[in-house]
A and B are shown apart, each in its own frame.
Chain A
């Protein structure tokens, strides 16, 4: 992650949450989130932990400088979780990047391409 510890200074903490749903779009959301985390764009953490109301996940989301919720499709389950919990977030939807739910194959090239675009958007 870009910064996981407030001990070192004034770095900004961006947390990434992927819907990781069953469709190709959910898979892509997950893989893009992992790719962005690997690049240091942000730190991937568990959307389901937030949904379950586990205190560490919820308080981390409250204190992060930025939460980016990556949903696979327009259903927007991740965004709904954050709205329900009253947590601030930026929303990214995989189908906004030319990906069709249930059709577009998830390839390494696509993960790279979408990751590039999201990284630019949330910078």
Chain B
């Protein structure tokens, strides 16, 4: 199962990205789970310097952007 990770400390934009990711997964019926990473040390360990960020199975695909549902889906299905 794919793990879609949302990196952010809990601000509104992080929550918006999470909501869009959930909707993308649900609408596309993807076999995926959402994991929220809110610990700043863990976020920094992943090299992410701007939040919100999105990663799939540990691979960071987007940084500093609130992707919409379609953008999330495009990244999750096809990489950058």
Q: Which residues of A contact B (CB under 8 A)?
A: 1, 3-8, 13, 15, 43, 45-46, 49, 54-60, 62-64
Contact = CB atoms under 8 A, between A and B. Distances in A.
Given A56-B48, A56-B53, A59-B48, 18 more contacts: A5-B8, A6-B13, A6-B51, A6-B52, A6-B65, A7-B14, A7-B52, A8-B11, A13-B49, A13-B50, A15-B49, A56-B46, A57-B47, A59-B47, A60-B49, A60-B50, A63-B63, A64-B49
Contacts of B26: none
B50 A6 contact: yes
B26 to A, nearest CB: 24
Contacts, number: 73
B20 to A, nearest CB: 15
A45 B63 CA distance: 14
B61 A59 contact: yes
Interface of B: 8-9, 11-14, 46-53, 55, 59-66, 80
Nearest to A15: B49
B1 to A, nearest CB: 20
A45 B59 CA distance: 18
B28 to A, nearest CB: 22
Contact of B51 (A7, A15, A59): A7
A55 B60 contact: yes
A101 B34 CA distance: 50
A60 B47 contact: yes
Contacts of A4: 49-51
A8 B61 CA distance: 21
A5 B47 contact: no
B68 to A, nearest CB: 15
Nearest to B40: A4
Most buried by B among A8, A15, A46, A57: A57
A4 B14 CA distance: 13
